[in-house]
Structure 1
Amino acid sequence: MKIKSFEFNLSELAGAMGDFGTLFPLAIGYIVVCGLDPAGLLVMMGLTNIVTGLVYRLPMPVEPMKVLAVVAIAQQWSPSMVYASGFAMGVLWLFLSATGLMGLLARITPRPVIRGIQVALGVMLAVQAVKMLAGGWVLGVLAIAIVLLLRRNRYAPAAVVLVLLGMAIMLVKGTFAQVQAPVFALPTMVSFSLVESWQSLLAAGFSQLPLTATNAVIATSVLIKEYWPDKPVSETRLSLNMGLINLLSPFFGGMPMCHGAGGLAGQYYFGARTGGANIIEGLLELALGLLLAQSIAGLFAAFPLAIVGAMMFLVGIEMTKFAKDTRWNLDLLPLLATLVASLWINMACGFLVGLAVYYGIEWQQRRGCRKGAA
C-alpha cells in the first residue's frame, strides 16, 4: 500500500501539537526575556514548517536550538545577538553538509550510542515533564489518562482534546480577556553584526553543535528510517536543511531552529504520519504571528503547564522504548556509558564517552582475536 504524502485530518492536527512541550517555554523566554518580535518568530517558524512539510512529505519537527535558547535567555541576550547566533549556526551546518563531515560523523556513530542518546533524551524529557506536573498533579494525571485513552482515536485525538481542555481552563480563568483585538503585523527586516555572530558561537554555538549533531541530525535520521523505512532522509540532507533555514530566517526575526528526535517522536506518538502535520502547524503559527503577535506570549504563558507536562512525559517514555532492540551482550555497555554521561554531564559528553567505550570494546575484541589466531 502506498503511503500518502499529505493528509489533513484530526490525527495530523493532533500530531502537529505533539512537540509543543519544548516550543512553549523557550518561545516565551525568547519573546519576554530577549525581546524578540513575536511576529517574526512565529511567522518564520510557520513558513519553515510549511516548506519542510512540502519538501519531505513527512512530519519533520522544527524546534528551537535548546543550548542556544537556554544560554540566551539566562544571559538576556539582545535580539540582534539571538539573530546573529542563528546566522552563525546556519553557516556551520552548511559547512558540515557541503564538506561531507556530517555524513562521516553519522557513519562512525554506532547504533548503541544512538540508542543511548535517544534514551537520555527520553529521560530528560520525562524529568522536565515531572517538574511541569508538580504544580497541578490532578490535571496532569487526568491529561495522561486522556492521552492513554484517546491517543489512537481518529475522531477525538488526545492532543486536540488536551489543547481544547487547556483553552477551556484559560477561558474559565478569564485569560482570554487579555487578548488584544487581531492586528495584522508582518515581520520586519532585522540586522546584526558578524562580531555578534562570533560572540554567540563562543558563548553557546560551539556547545550546541554536538547536541544538534546527535539529536537533531543522527538520531532524527535513524528515527525516520524506523517510522518510514521507504522514505529515508540522510544526515547530510538534514544538515543542509538546517543550514538553509538558519541562514535565511534570522533576517526576518526568526530564532535559531533545528530538528529533533524528541519532537519527531512526539509528532508520531500523537498521530502525525504525513507532511500535512507540518503544514497544519505552520498555518497555525502563521495565523498567530500575523494576527495575534501582541498577545501570544501571554497566551503561551497562561496555558496549563500540567497539560504540556503530561504530553512531554509520555513522549519521553516513548523515546526510551527504542532501546528494546539492544543486543544485551554487545551493545549494553556503550549504551549505558552514553546514557550516564549524557545525564550526568551533557549529551555531547555522552556521545564522546559512548564512542570511546564502543570502539574500545571493538579494539579489545580484535586484539583478542589476533592473539587467539597467533
Structure 2
Amino acid sequence: MRIHSFEFNMRELGGAMGDFGTLFPLAIGYIVVCGVDPTGMLVMMGLANVTTGLFYRLPMPIEPMKVLAVVAIAEQWSPSMVFASAFAMGLVWLFMSAAGVMGIVARITPKSVIRGIQAALGIMLALKALEMMATGWLLALVSLVIVLTLRQNRYAPAAVVLILLGGAVMYFNGTPDVLSGSMFALPGVHSFALSEVWQAMLQAGFSQIPLTATNAVIATAVLIRQYWPDKPVSERKLAFNMGLMNLVVPFFGGMPMCHGSGGLAGQYYFGARTGGANIIEGMLEIGLGLFLGGSIVGLFAAFPLAIVGAMMLLVGIELTKFAKDMTWNWHLAPMVVTLLVAVWTNMAYGFLAGMLLHHVGYRLSFQRSST
C-alpha cells in the first residue's frame, strides 16, 4: 500500500526489522541491569521513529548511543543517571546544530576517512555477528541461506521470515511463558538531578560525542546521499534531530538515542525504501511497550542470537563494499589508517588518525608541488 511517498508493505516491514541487532542486547542491558522501565523506553523510541519517518519520508534509524549504553550497563547506572545522560546529549547536539559545527566538520572530512569509518563499522558488526552466530551455527547458516534467497522478495522478505523463524524456535523451546506477565501500562514521568547530567558527561558523554559525530551524523548523511541522492539530509539536521529527541525522551523514560549508518544500512539491505519503515517499526515498538512491557526482557532474551547474528553479518559485509570506489593512490592511506585504528581502538581515534594523515599528507604534497 502506498500513501503519498510512504509505502506500507512486506518489504518495508522487513526493512523495519533490519536494525534490531543493535537494539536487542543494549535494550536488555538498560532494563535488566539499570532498571529502566521498558514501557517508557520502547514507547519513546517508537515515537521517535514515527516522527522522523513522517518528517523525512525516508528510513531513519533510531538506535541507542553505544558508548553511553556500554558504560551505563557496565557501571550499573541508576535510571535517573540514564535519563540525565540522554538530556546531556540533547543539549550537546542541539548546540552542535545551532552552531553549525557538524557542517564544518563534514566539509573538512575527506571521502577516504568516511570510507574508512564505514568499513570499520562493517568489520566490527561482522565480528560481533560471528560471536552471536557461534551460539547456534546450524541455525545461523539456515538464516544466511534465507537472507540470500529472499532478500529481494516482496512477499516474503528475509527479515520477516527470520523473525517468524525465531518465534518458532522460541515456541519449541517453551519460551511463550514469558507472555504470562503482560499487561497494559503507560510511560511514567521521570526526573533527574542536574549534578547527574554533568556526572554522565564526565563518565561517558564526552567519549560518546566523537563516535556520534562520525557514525550517526557524518557517515549517516553520506549514506543517505548514496541511497537517495535526490533527498539529501544535512549533518546539521541530523544533529538537530538527536538534540531535540534527547531533550524530550528522558522525562518519559527514554534512553540516549541517535541515528547510525549501520542501522540505515541494515534497514536498506532488508528492504526499507521510504519513511513507512520507520512508522512500522515505531508502531511495533509502541505496541510492545504499552502491551508487553512486563514481558519484553524475556522475549528479547529468548530470541535466538544466531538469527540476529546472521542478519548483522550480511549488513556488516554490505557496509565494507562502499570502499570499492576508492582508487589506489595516496588517498587510500587515510582510509586504511582510519579502518585499522578504529577497529583496534574505537571509531573516534580512527577518525582523528585518518584526518591527521589526510591533512598532513595533503599539505606535504602541496608544498612539494609548489617548489
Shift in Å, 1:180:
2.3
Letter in 1 for 2:68: L
Per the TM alignment, residue 92 of structure 1 is displaced from its structure 2 partner at its CA by: 0.3
Partner residue in 2 for 1:101: 101
Confirm or deny that 1:200 pairs with 2:208.
no
Report SS of the residue matched to 1:357. helix
Query: Is 1:236 paired with 2:236?
Result: yes
| Structure 1 residues 284-323: aligned runs within 5 Å | 284-323=284-323
Please list every run of at least 4 consecutive aligned residues from structure 1 whose deviation after the TM superposition is greater than 3 angstroms. none
Q: In the alignment, what sits opposite 2:48?
A: 48
Q: How far is the alpha carbon of 1:194 from its aligned partner? A: 1.0
Aligned to 1:60: 60
Within 2, Cα distance between the matches of 1:348 and 1:177? Answer: 43
For the residues of structure 1 that align with 2:143 and 2:6, how far apart are their CA atoms?
28
Instruction: Give the drift of 1:178.
Output: 2.4
C-alpha separation in 1, matches of 2:178 and 2:142: 27
* 1:5–1:58 contact (8 Å) kept in structure 2: no
Partner AA of 1:289 in structure 2: G
Find the aligned partners of 1:328 and 1:243 in 2 and give their Cα distance. 39
Q: Aligned pair count?
A: 370
Offset at residue 330 of structure 1 (A) = 3.4
User: Match for residue 170 of structure 2?
Assistant: 170
User: What is the Cα deviation at residue 327 of structure 1?
Assistant: 1.7
Tell me, yes or no, if structure 1 residue 121 matches structure 2 residue 124.
Answer: no
1:153 is paired with a residue whose SS is: coil
Give CA-to-partner distance per residue, 1:261-319, whole Å, 9 cap, x none.
Answer: 00000000000000000000000001000001000011000000000000000000000
| Secondary structure at the counterpart of residue 185 of structure 2 | coil
Partner of 1:327: 327
Tell me, yes or no, if structure 1 residue 90 matches structure 2 residue 90.
yes
The CA deviation at 1:328 is 1.5
TM-score (norm 1): 0.98
Q: Which residue of 1 aligns with 2:224?
A: 224
Are the counterparts in 2 of residues 61 and 260 from structure 1 also a CA contact under 8 Å?
yes
1:361 is aligned to 2:361: yes
RMSD of aligned Cα (Å): 1.1
CA distances 1:115-146 after superposition (whole Å, capped 9, x unpaired) = 00000000000000000011100000110010
User: Which residues of 2 match residues 243-262 of structure 1 at below 5 A?
Assistant: 243-262=243-262
Native 8 Å contact 1:334 1:357 kept in 2: yes
Q: Deviations over 1:234-283 (max 9, x none)?
A: 00000000000000000000000000000000000000000000000000
**Partner residue of 2:283?**
283
Report the Cα distance in structure 2 between the residues aligned to 1:172 and 1:263, rounded to whole angstroms.
30
Per-residue deviation, residues 171-198 of structure 1 (Å, max 9, x unmatched): 1111112212542100000010110010
Cα separation, 2, equivalents of 1:216 and 1:181: 36
* Cα separation, 2, equivalents of 1:312 and 1:287: 24
Q: Partners in 2 of 1:180 and 1:100 — Cα distance?
A: 50
Structure 2 length as normaliser, TM-score? 0.98
- Tell me how far apart the structure 2 counterparts of residues 4 and 239 of structure 1 sit (CA, whole Å): 27
What amino acid sits opposite 1:188 in the alignment?
G
Whole-angstrom CA distance in 2 between matches of 1:142 and 1:182? 31
The aligned counterpart of 1:22 is: 22
CA distance in 1 between counterparts of 2:174 and 2:46 reads: 28
Q: Which is worse superposed, 329-338 or 201-210?
A: 329-338
**Counterpart-to-counterpart distance in 2, 1:180 and 1:346:** 41
- Residue 188 of structure 1 aligns to a residue whose secondary structure is coil
Matches within 5 A, 1:135-150: 135-150=135-150
Using the alignment, how far apart are the partners of 1:182 and 1:205 within structure 2?
A: 34
- Displacement of 1:103 in angstroms is 0.8
Take 2:193 and 2:331, find their aligned partners in 1: how far apart are those partners?
A: 46
- Distance in 2, Cα, partners of 1:182 & 1:263: 29
> Is the 2:181–2:294 Cα contact (8 Å) retained in structure 1?
no
Moved more, 12-21 or 323-332: 323-332
* Overall identity of the aligned pairs, in %: 68
Secondary structure in 2 matching 1:192: coil
Q: Distance in 2 between matches of 1:298 and 1:274?
A: 31
The one-letter amino acid paired with 2:69 is A
CA distance in 2, matches of 1:130, 1:165: 19
Residues 283/128 of structure 1: CA separation in 2 closer, same or farther (3 Å cut) = same
Tell me if the contact between 1:67 and 1:208 (Cα under 8 Å) persists in the aligned partners.
Answer: yes
Kindly provide the amino acid, as one letter, of the partner of residue 333 in structure 2: L
